[in-house]
A and B are shown apart, each in its own frame.
Chain A
Amino acid sequence: MRWGMVIDLKRCIGCYGCQLACKAEHGTPPGVYYARVLKKEDGEYPTVRQFALPVLCNHCEDPPCVAACPTGASFKWEEDGIVDIDHDLCVGCRSCMMACPYTNRYFNDQPAHYFAQGMTPFEQARTERHQHNVVMKCNFCRDRVRAGKLPACVANCPTTARYFGDLDDPSSEISVLIKERGGFTLHPEAGTGPAVYYLPP
């Protein structure tokens, strides 16, 4: 099996709910965004449109970040295709950040907090498990998925613009959506085989 995600750009309203749900789930520090939302414009006058483009790690079939990692800290789980990081192995060389065509990796270089008065108890509880001076990225909420839940960004999307399922199963909801609605990936020319697909806006 291979976990994948489909994001319906016609449904996405750019509310940043996915970004915040991800922040709450993983307690990522300032400057680290496993999921984020870009605002884009497309077309030419008079047929122009503004739309939101949610981005996250693409959990590629042939991930260049894994090939570029000198320690094996970046790796792909054989059983479900999720690309993950073993932070105990990461040396912080950041070659994976340069190798990723989707710029969805972040370097957590120092303890940081969101508020001027210092770290809140919530931040402390959520961030103490994170290592510093290592690279961080989305892991499709693997712990949640293994517990039978949806990734936080999918579960919390108010417009149900995100779908999660098995790409290897041709009858899964995401495989059908990709086939029927012309799902496409970002940077197909990179040849990495992303597991995140988009439906046209």
Chain B
Amino acid sequence: MVRHTLAVLVENQPGVLSHVAGLFARRGYNIESLAVGETEDNTISRITLVVDGDEKVIEQVTKQLNKQVEVIKVNDITNEPSVDRHMLLIKVTADQVARQEILQLMDIFRCRIVDIGRRSLIIEATGDEGKIEAIIQSLKPFGIKELVRTGKVALVRGSK
């Protein structure tokens, strides 16, 4: 099983996401992550899908997506040189003592503190999956109160 990243351009219309998600559900494909948002053209949205499956499964996924009326284009960018990012917001238990240590850690990861409470901090981080995992692991000992993260977004690099 290989993870594939698909960049799917769709019409920016209500119901499109449920078309795409429904397709995955009924054909038995697994979505690892999904991120959707408007593109530079506000009539078009871009869905970045991470799908688990062998070449055959990915080929079927791509063909089935292409059949949807609202799908404009499907690109498998798994093997393309690309920039990909996840975003993480994480609320960590942080008393006066821990706070200093956390700040140092977050400096290493180049994260930002976006909220300070009396006993907690909210940290914002972006990065590839490895970095996000590393941040979560490093903060675990302090006590994670809440965590939210987006699916992967990715763009193919410009030609050199």
A is bound by B: no
Q: CB within 8 Å of B: which residues of A? A: none
